[in-house]
Structure 1
Amino acid sequence: MATFIPVITIDGPTASGKGTIAHRVATALGWSVLDSGALYRLTALGVQQHGVDASDELAVARIAAQLDVSFQGGRIFMDGQDVGCLIRQEQVGNLASRIAAYLPLRQALLDRQRAFRVAPGLVADGRDMGTVVFPDAPLKIFLVADVRARAERRCKQLKEKGFSANLPDLLKDMRTRDERDRSRVNAPLIAAADAHTVDSSDLTIGETVKLVLDLWSGLGFQATRA
């Protein structure tokens, strides 16, 4: 009988801080981490670079199935090129949000995402980690924050990385993306029935990480590395 490998899922809307929290929690536990959004952004970047019609669902899914990507530490490579900064551009993120509604694409990426589940455990962040990809995860977090707070965070992140950013435009795009993510037919952005909803609007990163680790400990598991 296969050994059960635990998973903590952290789902939530754009710029809710789920990626940062997932990495901090994974580091504390000594686990692997899955940034599922990066796979959709990588697909979007591949669509752009190969001149694929973004409205052709099967063509987009083929790009996803053929992705030559690797995650090395905090760096992301596609076709041997470090694309970590490229996939964080807003136009890539907006395209990723559009194509993420395609069922063929989601099916193409499902097995790839589940392959990240290796011992001793995995922290997975995204939008459907707890509802679709890892429905048996012992701990599911649905991380939310006020949309203005999220837009301000994203604006700060982009400027720190050298990208131009306009807060009103980001706020508008974020509201549009939220609505698209929540209303799509395939794997909409919703909290799993057994998820803990955490509002990080007024919490620091450290406070949010501690809350997640405390919830994990409350299940009877070790909260930090042995």
Structure 2
Amino acid sequence: MSTRVHSTHQIGKLILFVKAFIKDAPRDISEILKKYIFDDLILIAKNISDHNRAGSVEACNIIILAKSLGELYDLSEKEICHIFGIDDRTIGIFKFPKDYFGYFQIVTIIYYMGSASIFNALRDAVVGFVVEILDKEDSIGTIGLRSDCVMLTMDLLRCPFLSQDQKTLIARAILKKRTLDNIHSRIADFIATAAEGDWFFSWEADSDLRSLLMKKELRPAY
């Protein structure tokens, strides 16, 4: 099957149909079907990565679809790194691809990891990578001119899977560019403002794949 964005969108709609169909089926039958679906999704995602398209929009769509099947089918840290093209050959050190690991890849990988403790090290590394992106900007003004930075900042400060300390690192990376005066209270206010509602990515859509399919994240791009 083609792994174009449109195809992964069609796969998502098919999964919605199958999940609705097996909702009232005996547990053993429904889990067998979910396992078949999961195995095929991961095979597609790995095939995308093996053809030099690691971390592509198609791979991200597949990961979001796999997440919808439940915790029984979680990927390992190594499998996630493979799919997203993250170099994890040195224990405890993650090297992110500089050319294509951007907004969509970051929110997708954090969404997939959720708050599971087995991903603590990788989650910390992703947050560190985001801080590096923000640190490279000259001022709050230049950050504001980059839509990816704005989207990342607001979505991650709203993210239920990041700790207060991780959110503080992100907020501080931006606010310190203006001044360090009253930095702690300004960080608290910034995080509180971001927490008021969803911005660009819906973190609470885990139980409702349909809401993700209706948002631009999984809509066909061509």
Q: Same fold judged by TM-score > 0.5?
A: no
- Quick check: which one's helix share is greater? 2
State TM-score, norm by structure 1.
Answer: 0.29
State TM-score, norm by structure 2.
Answer: 0.29
- Quick check: which one's strand share is greater? 1
**Higher RCO structure, 1 or 2 (CA under 8 Å, sep 6+):** 1
